[in-house]
Amino acid sequence: MPLAQTSIARVSGPQCPAGILAQIEAIFFEASANPPAPGPERDAFRERWLGRYLQGGTDVLLVALAGEDTVAGYLVGALEDPALQERFADIGYFRADFAGLTRRYPAHLHINLAKTFRSQGIGAGLIEAFADIVRQTGAPGMHVVTGRAMRNVRFYQRCGFVACGSTMWNCRELAFLGRSLPPDC
């Protein structure tokens, strides 16, 4: 289903309908490389990479819907610099390796699509919707951190992100990709 047949909605994380949240979680685990087996470790993994963005506040949850209730994909993002937030202290590369870059590109995001909805422009639509929200806050840019050798690096580059830095973390080379967001005239 191409982007024209999907809609993007901003949803409040704390008020996200259970059926939508269940689909988001299913997509999250499907897209995760080697997610832990069900149990406490899996719950911590979910909280670290998804759950912390669903608490509300200034965080953003965008959902791409195919029809009224089928989640094609989602984007979660934080509008404020993670290097300055205590809730991101468990992700050491923000403060240690990328703090200078997060000042230039303070908003950050995670995005995932269900396999059947990939390569149809839906992900780019979610990125642009997030960019519009970030731009409205006056933030100068946004970023994503991903594995340097991951296939998604090309996707982010097509969406206007550029490689700004890299670091080793948990025996993997990570890339910091930033996108400037000049203010609307």
pLDDT over threshold 50, residue 94: yes
Mean pLDDT, residues 41-53 taken together: 92
Percent of the chain with pLDDT over 90: 76
Cβ neighbours for 179, distance < 8 A, ≥ 6 positions apart: 105, 131, 141, 142, 143, 159, 160, 161, 162
Q: Determine, yes or no, domain membership for 72.
A: yes
Q: Which domain holds residue 165?
A: 3-180
Q: Determine, yes or no, domain membership for 93.
A: yes
> What is the spatial distance between Cα 104 and Cα 123, in angstroms, rounded to a whole number?
23
Q: Determine, yes or no, domain membership for 167.
A: yes
What mean pLDDT, rounded, does the chain reach?
91
Predicted pLDDT at 1 = 46
Q: Determine, yes or no, domain membership for 114.
A: yes
User: pTM of the predicted model, to two decimals?
Assistant: 0.92
108-161 pLDDT per residue, tens = 999 999 999 998 999 999 999 999 999 999 999 999 999 898 888 999 999 999
pLDDT band at 38 (very low <50, low <70, confident <90, very high): very high
Q: Determine, yes or no, domain membership for 90.
A: yes
Q: What's the total number of domains in the chain?
A: 1
What are the C-alpha distances in Å from 79 to residues 41, 76, 147, 156, 167? 27, 10, 22, 18, 23
Q: Determine, yes or no, domain membership for 185.
A: no
Q: Which CATH number belongs to the domain containing residue 31 in this structure?
A: 3.40.630.30
